[in-house]
Chain A
């Protein structure tokens, strides 16, 4: 069982977490003015790095969204970092 670490709850088993996508993949602003390629990048293209990945994860039981750095080769995961400002 892999253990991930929620910034609020601390270490918890992996099945309590849900993947939330690449960190920094923000929804494009501007609606109609956003070019098709930009929408496609946002919706369908993933960083998919070999090695260090910066990702958004959610701890399902407490609802906290946080960022996590994870090595996609070794599966090692650093403790999650809070996304909310001013939180540890």
Chain B
């Protein structure tokens, strides 16, 4: 087959600007849970699922995506073990969802460009439209974590690079 890889540029997996770093993290174990969220959280010792831009830390947390759905983070799932388990539908998401770390004192400046949400107003769901793509956003260890479809990572990196946050002055 002809090699067409040269047709397109490869976006970087990390970008740095003044007071901001955006970086694709190594795969983070994730499970999408639909149904009995309380039961799943209790069985796995997970804290209650977080809403939009809520603060968390460490490897294990949960993000509320919808009324009956959350993303359990820090817990892996063998695909063969997925499906309907104890009142919840479990879907392994480690491959499907990339996690992007956004750090630095200007991290929220990127959020201001990517969405029109009010960052001071709590919302029950961590899901939002970020740069036109559906994603989930929380504060994590002093920075931000964006859980995003892995196939959209090159798009997001290109989009970030096009903002003024990552351009040297005069460029």
Contacts and interface: CB of A to CB of B under 8 A. Distances in A.
Contacts of A84: 67
Nearest to A15: B129
A contact residues, range: 10 to 19
Interface residues of B, number: 18
Contacts of B127: 9, 61-62
Contact of B66 (A8, A13, A16): A8
Contacts, number: 47
A64 B69 CA distance: 11
B118 interface: yes
A12 to B, nearest CB: 7
Contacts of A15: 116, 129
A63 B118 CA distance: 20
Contacts of B69: 63
Interface in A28-74: 60-64
Nearest to B121: A11
A63 B64 CA distance: 12
B134 A61 contact: yes
Contacts of B46: none
Contacts of B75: none
B128 A61 contact: yes
